A and B are shown apart, each in its own frame.
Chain A
Amino acid sequence: MMRGPIPVAVAFLAGIFMVISFFSTNPAIERVSGDFLNWVSIVSGFTILLGVVSIAHANWSKIQRRKEGWPYAVVLRVFRAGMLVSGFSEGVETGTVYDWLFTNLQAPMMTTMFSMLAFFIASAAYRAFRARTLQATLLLVTAIIVMLGRIPVGQAINSNLPDVTNWIMAVPNMAAQRGIIIGAALGAAATALRIILGLERTYMGRG
């Protein structure tokens, strides 16, 4: 059973080498680490490709069994195939089918989905931002001040609003962000350590 230890050892060595190269300014180590990082980038590219390939067969069963909504699943597969075939066969430069689909359909739909948040942000704020407790009040009052301080009309209402907004951003907001950043960094460092030492293997699956 050599399967378990090999990936764990690879992760360990790769991680430790990155830590060592962090502490070194030795030209030889720098050169090796530059090449090594290039390898990492190349292998990462393969894992992205694997992702694309391994999902290409999803949604088959629905069509085969003619389950409710199966025509939609056919639509999905047709467009997926179009994207994959054109992407691999002719590339992604301007003028390719891939680029046409991306520019005229996918990218606009991404922006459209994203812009729906302008509506959702309004309805969520209206429903949820109630001055129930001191904490909730702090949130909603800050939100209103900052919103006013960022638009030209706010300046017209009270010329101090932009300054107050900037003070909120630079002092209380900044302090909380810093506390969050420090805490989160410790959490991320602990996770990285668990991966290097092979204690975290969720990413490998268990089988």
Chain B
Amino acid sequence: MDPVTTLTALFTLAIYSFLYRDNPVYRFAEHVFAGLSAGYYSGLIFQSVLVQQLWQPLIGGKLWLIVPGILGVLTFARLSTKWSWLSRVALAFVIGANAGILLMQQLHGLVLPQVAETMINMGTIKGLLVVVGVISTLMYFYFSKPHKGALGVIANVGMWFIMISFGAHFGYTVMARVSLLIGRVQFLVIDWLHLVD
């Protein structure tokens, strides 16, 4: 048995031991895990962003990259109480740009095509169900009036559709989670213990 594989296997089992109940072994693994996940791709950012995307092009002559460089350094002003407002400039820059992208992405990339493709022939069962389903689901999320009367009926139909879709999600997701468990068990049974070829 390879010692590294054994180490990995022991940590795997330590995490699974939580299924029986909380215990010191789990607690140890939990803290190792939490510690590891703090370092979390710091080195990668350093290489791929600071070196490849900023520093090399900058010394290669793209001088205006000094602007994002300065903005980036400003984010660290957050660590000082007096200058922390400067870090908000950098944060606002990123979040503002993202908001600009998102505003159009949501309206143009999602709302328009999804609305257009619901304008379909209701003469078929599928067509009728789709139009009714989309409209009633939308109306379930209408908050300005109590769900009574006609709106109540429509919202209720919407809830049926939503529940079917949640059932479908659930049915699909079981396979997703079981796949991961199969992966872990294969690691323990095959890679670690070599019980099966």
Residues of A bordering B, CB below 8 Å: 3, 6-8, 10-19, 22, 35-50, 52-56, 69, 72-73, 75-80, 82-84, 86-88, 90-92, 96, 98, 101-102, 104-106, 108-109, 111-119, 121, 125, 134-136, 138-147, 149-151, 165, 168-169, 171-183, 185-186, 188-189, 191-193, 195-196, 203-205, 207
Bound form: Cα–Cα A167–B141 in Å: 25
- Tally of contacts, chain A with chain B, CB under 8 A: 386
Contact B76 A179 (CB under 8 A): no
Residues of A contacting B7 in the complex (Cβ-Cβ under 8 angstroms): 104-105
CB < 8 Å neighbour of A176 from B31, B67, B161, B171: B161
Answer whether residue B47 sits at the interface, using C-beta atoms and an 8 A cutoff.
yes
Is there contact, CB below 8 Å, between B103 and A45? Answer: no
Partner of A180, one of B31, B103, B162, B175: B162
- The interface centre, meaning the residue of B43, B54, B64, B166 with most chain A CB atoms within 10 A of its CB, is B43
Show 13 residue pairs from A and B whose CB-CB distance is below 8 angstroms, ordered by the A residue: A7-B92, A13-B96, A46-B72, A50-B75, A77-B35, A84-B42, A92-B44, A101-B36, A108-B8, A112-B16, A135-B160, A186-B106, A196-B100
Query: Contact at A91–B43, with CB atoms within 8 Å?
Result: yes
B43 touches A98 (CB 8 A): yes
Residues of A within 8 A of B33 (CB): 105-106, 109, 113
Q: Are B38 and A40 in contact (CB under 8 A)?
A: no
**CB distance A104 to B100 under 8 Å?**
no
Which partner residue on chain A sits nearest B78 by CB separation? A50
A149 closest partner in B (C-beta): B171
| Shortest 6 CB-CB contacts between residues of A and residues of B | A83-B39, A175-B133, A179-B137, A18-B100, A146-B171, A142-B167
Verify A204–B106 contact, CB threshold 8 A.
no
> Which secondary structure dominates where chain A touches chain B?
helix
The answer to whether B11 touches A108, judged by C-beta atoms less than 8 angstroms apart, is: yes
Residue in A111, A169, A179, A185 whose Cβ sees the most chain B Cβ within 10 Å? A179
B37 CB within 8 Å of chain A: yes
User: Smallest CB-CB separation from A117: which chain B residue?
Assistant: B177
Query: Are B97 and A18 in contact, CB atoms less than 8 angstroms apart?
Result: yes
User: B163 touching A135 by the CB < 8 A rule?
Assistant: yes
Contacts A50-B76, A146-B167 given; does A111 touch B43 at CB 8 Å: no
